Chains A and B, each alone.
Chain A
Amino acid sequence: SQTIHQWPATLVQPVGSPLSLECTVEGTSNPNLYWYRQAAGRGLQLLFYSIGIDQISSEVPQNLSASRPQDRQFILSSKKLLLSDSGFYLCAWRGQGLSREQYFGPGTRLTVT
C-alpha cells in the first residue's frame, strides 16, 4: 500500500531563517506530487506541483521554492521566511493514469515568529 510521509510535524522558525520541509511517498512510482498551504481559517492553496523529477510548476509567486531530486521525494524550501509563511503545509500525491484521488500527508505546522 502507498504511504506518504512529511517531516517535521511542527516547526517554529524566526523571520529570515531558511526552511526545508520534506515529503516522501512509498509504494508507488512516478506520482504527481503537490505542496499546499493552509493559513489559519482558510482553504488550501496549491503552491507547487510536479509531474516528474526536476519538473516543478509554481502556482503562486512567493518566496518559496520546491525541488524533486528523486521520483518520490518532494522538498519545499525558503531562503528567508516571512511572517506570512506561517501555516499548515500539506504534501499530496496522485497516481498516473485513471487515478482521480489525491492522497494527503499528515502535514507540517509552521509558525514563523
Chain B
Amino acid sequence: LAKTTQPISMDSYEGQEVNITCSHNNIATNDYITWYQQFPSQGPRFIIQGYKTKVTNEVASLFIPADRKSSTLSLPRVSLSDTAVYYCLVGDNGFGGSQGNLIFGKGTKLSVKP
C-alpha cells in the first residue's frame, strides 16, 4: 500500500478555509484516496474519497491533480468543532485483492481557534 506524508499539525481560526495536503508519490493505478476525521477517544469517521480531479460533498472537497501524487482536503469555513486529527489514506478498497485494508499514519492534528 502506498505510503502517505502529511503535516503533523495545523492551526486555523473559525470561519477560515483549511487546506491539508497529503503526498503519496507511490500511489498505484487501482488506489483511491480517502480522508478520515478522528476526535479524541472516538473512532475515525469517513469524510471523503476520490480517484482523480475534484470531489465535493456536504462537508469537504478533495482536490487531486492529474499525476495523483498528492491530494488536498479542503474544509470550508471551519468551526471549533472541526478540531480533530485528519488522516489521508490510499488503497485499492479491496478491489485489488488487499481486502480493503487501511494503513493509517499519524495524521494531521488540526486546531481551530476562536
Contact = CB atoms under 8 A, between A and B. Distances in A.
- Chain B contact-residue range equals 20 to 34
B96 interface: no
Main secondary structure of the interface of B (DSSP, over half): loop
Contacts of A42: 106
Contact of B103 (A32, A46, A100): A46
Given A100-B32, A100-B34, A44 B101 contact: no
A49 B101 contact: yes
A43 B105 contact: yes
Interface residues of A, number: 25
B101 A46 contact: yes
B43 A92 contact: yes
Contacts of A43: 87, 104-107
Contacts of A57: 99
A103 B41 CA distance: 15
A88 B106 CA distance: 14
A106 B42 contact: yes
A51 B106 CA distance: 26
Interface string B4-27: 000000000000000000000000
Given A100-B49, A100-B93, A102-B46, A46 B41 contact: no
Interface of A: 32, 34, 36, 42-46, 49, 51, 57, 59, 88, 90, 92, 94, 100-107, 109
